[in-house]
Structure formats: C-alpha cells, structure tokens
Structure 1
Amino acid sequence: MELTIDKNILKAYGLTGENINIQQIGSGLINGTYLLTDLSNGKKFVLQHINTNVFTNPEAIADNIAAVADFLQTNFPSYLFPAPLVTNANQRMYLHEGKYWRLMPFVEGTIALDTLSTPKQAFEAAKQFGKLSRLLNKFDSNKLQPTIVGFHDLALRFEQFKKALSKASTAAKDKAVREIETAFVFETILIQYLQLNSNADFPNRVMHHDTKISNALLDKDTFEGVCVIDLDTLMPGKFISDLGDMMRTYLCEFSENEKDLSKITIRVAYFAAMIEGYLSEMGEILTATEKELILFSGKYIIYMQALRFLTDFLNENIYYATTYPEQNLDRAKNQFKLLEELIRNEDQLQQLIDANLVRKQQ
C-alpha cells in the first residue's frame, strides 16, 4: 500500500509534496519513521513523528539535541551528528494535528543492523557510542532535561516491582514465584547502585541511554562505524547506562523473546570486541571508580530490564506489547538467565577488562 504524508508537513520543510517517494523504515517500536526520497533531485531525508505517550515533553528532546548539536559544531565541527533540520519558520519540530514531526538528514552509504553477526560490528558500534560520550565530556549535563523521567533509575524500577507484587493476583504470583524470588536475590545490585550515587567519582554524563546495535550507523560495505542515531533519550545519566545496555543487547545471540533458556549464553568474543571499542574512546575519560564498574554496568541494566518485564507481567501486561499472556514473564526469565550467565563468566570477563585497561595505560 502506498504511503502518504500530509502535504502541509512536507511543505513546512520546503518539500513540495510532489514527486516524493515515501517508505516506512526502522525497527523501532516507539516513533513512526519514514524515508523520503525527492525524485526530482535524489535527495533523501528521514521524517519521524514523536510518540508523545512515551515522550510527554517533545520540546525537551528538541532542546537537548539542539544544545548538544551547537556544542559539537563549535568544538568538533567535523563530527557527524545528524540533528533534525529546522522548518521554514525556523522551528525544530512541526506540530500538525496534535503530532510532533521532525525531518533529519539521511546518511548515505550506511546501514542500521537489527542484529550483530560479527565481533567487529560490536567493536564499531561500541566505539561510536564511546566517541559521542568522549566528545561530550566537557559538556555540562545539567543543561539537558530528562526526556523520560526515571528511565534508568533502578531504585524506581524496584519500587514499581514491589508495588506490582503487592497488587498482583494470586495466579500471577504463583506463575512467577521463582522469578519473584530471583528478583529479591539480586537486590544486592540495587544496594550497590544506591551506594554509588553519592560517590563524587561517579559523575553524571551526557548519555545516549539506548545503545542497541540499530542505533549505530555503520558503513554498508566495510561495517566501520559512522555515527549514532535515535537521540530522543540523550540526557543526563551514568556511563553504566550506555555500556550496560550494550552488554544486554550485544552479548547474547538471541533477544529477550527467546524462550529456550539454554540458548541464552555470553559470546565472549563479542564482549571483548565491545570493551575494546568502547575503551578506545573512553579509556582515558572514565574515572577510577567508573573503571571498577565496567562489568557492574551489565548487571545493572540486565537486572533492571528483568525487573521491568516481571513488573509488567504482574501488572497484567500494560506497558510492553505481547503476543501471548505470559510473554513478559518469559522475557523476565530470559533476562535473569542472561544476568546469571554474566555472573557465571565474571572472572573471565573481568580479566578481559583489566587487560584492556592495562593496554590503555601503556
């Protein structure tokens, strides 16, 4: 079926609406994303509308990206940062019939992968996310607004889990009894997180917060990293958010939807490549405390995601889309297994981290 976009939206960005090919793209589940091709000159753009059910303050997203873009343009003008274009009226977004739209440049010659198939891809993606953090090291993160309040706040997620548990049906609790027990066993991760928050050597930084492989653009031929995209969650946070999310999504061959838990294992070669790529950019930037928390970042994010899936199951699946009633419970089982695998391989993984840090000091 041919896609159409209201011509008023296109005209707001100086596009006539004539001879424009429109194609829906992207694997994201939040915003609607379209590739626009101007058939008269071959120019391509990415058009997107923001899901205001998730991002309740689109202006904060626009302000954050603009502030970071200005900083990068001033200090690192050669860095490719695909910020949204302004409208003919010099607006960062276009509001049409209650929806916020934005137009972004299309980065030619690149590919966004949905899954990793080689350690090199893990290296290149991690390097790109690390590079953005390194370039923004001197940027005052207090200038940015949270675009999703409490997004990676583990204490909040644990409280939400306990609240859901207190209200859940007996049937739901019976089905999830082992996962509920596991959630409390790993509460030590929350305790460590709370202790860290008061540590001055564990600073707030500008973090991407959604570092899955599809948010790093790679060269379509060489698979070398080009830049990062999907900047909606660019906001203040801790480095463990970005590195932890990479561990959660890069280290296992299978996603959180895999029900065969025997398949949930750690790909050590991918871990080594990811750490090498990230530390090639951030190795000299991280504080001593942060360097000690590299492996903890994976525990932190994986545990938090397991809690979120378990919470949603106990809440009768009100947040994450499901195709069968126990899918969020299966996802929680999957993530708890991934966490257990990370801990089971901890000694080997920590040795790889230590060796990489030593090389950075030489």
Structure 2
Amino acid sequence: MELNLASEVLNAYGFTKKNTTITQIGTGLINCTYLLSPHAGNQKYILQQINIAVFKSPWAIAENLKAISDYLAQHHPDYLFIKPIPTIEGAEMAHINQEFWRLLPFVHHTVSLDVLTDPKQAFEAAKQFGKLSRLLNNFDTRTLEPTIPGFHDLGLRYKQFTQALSEAPAALREQAEIQIEDALNHKYILDYYTSYLQKDDFPDRVMHHDTKISNVLLDEKTFKGICVIDLDTIMPGKFISDLGDMMRTYLCACSENEIDLTRIKIRLPYFEAMIKGYLSEMKAILTATEKELMLFSGRYIIYMQALRFLSDFLNGNTYYPVSYPTQNLDRAKNQFQLLSEIAVNEKELQGIIEENLLY
C-alpha cells in the first residue's frame, strides 16, 4: 500500500516507479521518510510524508520554509538551506489522498548521527544550530506561523500536568507520588521564566526547536558541520528552546529511556564543546538577558520534558509510545534526575559559560 501511494506521489514530482528506486530510511518517529534514487543521473532525493496528527497545519510548514529560504537566498546566498523542491505544478508540497508529501534534495557525502560519541560532534552541531539562528537574526519572526502551537510553552505544559493530575486514577497518582512532588517543587522554574518575559532584551528568534544530533548533517570524512535538517518545527521562539534542548540531549550519554538513574551524569567535556560551538556563532548577538539565562535554558527544557512524560503517564500513555506501562513514569524519573545533575554541577557549568562569554 505504501509503495502504491508513493507511486502517486512520484508522479507529482515527475518520477515513476519504473525509473526510480524507493527505499524507506530514517529512525524518526514522526514522519515517514524514503530515499529516491532515479535510475538516470547521480542526484538522489528525500521523500517525506508529513504526520498531520502532529503537524495539523502542514501548509504552515511549507510557507515558513519558503519565507526563510527566500530570505537566506537574498541575504546569505552561500548558506546551504535544504528547502523543499516544488511539484511539477509548482506547489510546495504534494497533497494526495488527504496526505501531505514533500521532496528534498539528498546531500551527498554527509552523515547524520543518532548518538554523540565525541565532544567535537557536540561542538559542530551546536555551531550549526547557532549559525542558522544568527543568519536569521534580522528576519521578522512575526511572518512565521507556529507549526506546533505551544510546543515549548512551559506554562501550557504545567497546566496540562495539573489537569492530568486532577483527572488521574488514584492508583496512577500513588505510583507517581515522588515525581508529582518533584514536578510541584520545581514550579519555580516556570515562575522564574515568566518573570523575564516582559524584558525588552528577551526577543523572539527563529528557532529550530528540535536540536538533537540527528538533525545536523556532518561531512562524512571530517565530521565538520554542514547544515541543519528536519525543519518542520522551525518557528518563532526564545533562544532557550534550542540551547536548552541541546543540553537535554547532548550532556548525558544515556537517553531518556535509561532506567538506571545512577548512569544519568553530565559529561562536562560535551557541555563545554556545546557552549563553545553555540557561542562561536551566537555570542555577538545574544542579549544580556539571554546570556544570563544560558544555563537556565537547560533547566527549562528538561523540566518541561519531565512534565510531559509525567502527564502522559497520568493520562494513561496516550501520546508517547511505550513498551511497558510505567515507561513514561521512568522517563520522567530520568529527566528529573538530569535536572538534579544540573543543580549538582551548577558552579562548574556556569563557570564554563562565563569563561566562554569572555573570550
């Protein structure tokens, strides 16, 4: 069925099953992704179905990417921005059978990593995410539409948590008693963030919002950063979103699925490399408030993710896929442990930030 559907999409882009090899690729959980290899020529393409259960306004993605692509082409023409290829009728996406598809050029001689194994990789990834934000520093964020409204809105996520808590069965609340207490005790993170929202030097920026290592292309030989990919969530936000998400996903060798909490440790060399990479692009444009909130950005995003896992557990595991009933609770425990590691290492982490802000 997938190949028959893909065949229809191929026609929208001028290909056919007879002249193109289709291979399903990728480890992403949101969109289905295929590699297209036309039998003539060396160029390959990425064909991707947009998950409309997550992205309820797919045209917003297309319009955002076109606006950003046009801006970069005018102001920074040398930057490699992986923009979608129009259909043969000139549309930004193919809309077939109530599904949305887009075609992207495949970038040869590059790799994307699922796991960080070297601080240099953290440096290169952070540099690339910082570079994209820097190049878009003067872009009017008001022209972009949120592709997932409230995605990194901690106030919304806390409200969702309190609602889940009020409606959860007593048995689930009892199982999660310690984590519920953790969630309530850390509400100061939301209050602290809210106190900064009216500051003039805390601007909205164009943020990627999903800065895991797999969303950066690296040179396959040198592992130097080439560009950022997977741009569905690019939209207005605070710098906290990108830097905080890097902290959440780069600093520990274990993912949020690790249940041995003694393994949740911060890798200081990775933190330092990430800060150096990010500031190599962003230091000149970060405001005083943003510089003040750099370490806080990690707390913000980690706490938010802990709330999301905990809320999903209390709701009966309706959002995140699980392989056993308490997995989302274990994920919440994991994130609260990572949050505590930020506190334990705060002095050294802040010292690294301040040293790199000076030089």
Q: Please indicate, yes or no, whether the TM-score normalized by the shorter chain is above 0.5.
A: yes
In structure 2, the residue matched to 1:270 is: 270
| Deviations 1:160-218 (CA, angstroms, capped at 9, x unpaired) | 00000000111101100000000011111000111111111100000000000000011
Q: Distance in 2 between matches of 1:38 and 1:70?
A: 28
The answer to whether structure 1 residue 322 and structure 2 residue 351 are counterparts is no
Q: Distance in 2 between matches of 1:122 and 1:245?
A: 12
Counterpart mapping for 1:336-355 below 5 A: 336-355=336-355
In the TM superposition, residue 4 of structure 1 has moved relative to its aligned partner by 5.7
SS in 2 for 1:35: strand
Counterpart mapping for 1:260-339 below 5 A: 260-339=260-339
In the TM superposition, residue 6 of structure 1 has moved relative to its aligned partner by 3.3
SS in 2 for 1:115: coil
| Deviations 1:313-349 (CA, angstroms, capped at 9, x unpaired) | 0000000000000000000000000000011101000
Q: Distance in 2 between matches of 1:169 and 1:8?
A: 46
Q: Distance in 2 between matches of 1:260 and 1:39?
A: 48
In the TM superposition, residue 5 of structure 1 has moved relative to its aligned partner by 4.9
Cα RMSD (Å) of the superposition? Answer: 1.2
Residue identity in the other structure for 1:22: I
Q: Distance in 1 between matches of 2:120 and 2:26?
A: 22
CA 126–223 in structure 1, closer or farther in 2 if over 3 Å, else same: same
In structure 2, the residue matched to 1:191 is: 191
SS in 1 for 2:259: coil
Structure 2, gaps ≥5 residues long: none
Q: Distance in 1 between matches of 2:102 and 2:42?
A: 20
Q: Distance in 2 between matches of 1:298 and 1:184?
A: 18
Structure 1, gaps ≥5 residues long: none
Q: Distance in 1 between matches of 2:79 and 2:237?
A: 22
In structure 2, the residue matched to 1:112 is: 112
SS in 1 for 2:34: strand
In structure 2, the residue matched to 1:146 is: 146
C-alpha contact (below 8 Å) 1:3/1:23 kept by paired residues: no
In structure 1, the residue matched to 2:34 is: 34
Residue identity in the other structure for 1:305: Q
C-alpha contact (below 8 Å) 1:4/1:22 kept by paired residues: no
Question: TM-score scaled by structure 2?
Answer: 0.98
Could you list the structure 1 runs, at least 4 aligned residues long, displaced by more than 2 angstroms after superposition. 1-8
C-alpha contact (below 8 Å) 1:254/1:263 kept by paired residues: yes
**After the TM superposition, which of the residue ranges 14-23 and 45-54 deviates more from structure 2?**
14-23
- Once the two structures are aligned, what percentage of the paired residues are identical? 60
Question: TM-score scaled by structure 1?
Answer: 0.98
| Deviations 1:134-185 (CA, angstroms, capped at 9, x unpaired) | 0000001000000001000000000000000000111101100000000011
Q: Distance in 1 between matches of 2:283 and 2:304?
A: 25
Q: Distance in 2 between matches of 1:2 and 1:316?
A: 30
